[in-house]
Amino acid sequence: MATAAPPISRVAHIGDTAGVVWKVLTTEGPMSMAKLVKAADEPRDTVMQALGWLAREDKISIEEEGRSRIVGLR
């Protein structure tokens, strides 16, 4: 009988999602938050928390463009 891996903590999941966001922005370049959520294939709230993580580390820039925000790497 195989034992299931322990569930990942919420904070660890946000950190993992920050890594996904970083990779998406590295390969795709700057994009709107809506496109980023779709590209990351994670719930919007999780992507926003991951963006907060990256912003706190001063890894991203967020620019206003009309009614949308464009996220890119620093």
Residue labelled with tokens 């009309």: 66
**15 by DSSP, 3-state: which?**
helix
Give the Cβ contact number of residue 46 at 10 Å.
19
Q: What is the pLDDT of residues 13-23, one digit of tens each?
A: 999 999 999 99
Is 49 within 8 Å of 16 (Cβ atoms)? no
Average pLDDT of the residues in 26-40 = 97
Q: Supply the pLDDT for residue 3.
A: 66
Question: Can you spell out the DSSP letters for 30-52?
Answer: SEEHHHHHHHHTS-HHHHHHHHH
Would you state the structure tokens that stand for residue 64, as one six-digit string?
């206003």
Q: Supply the pLDDT for residue 40.
A: 97
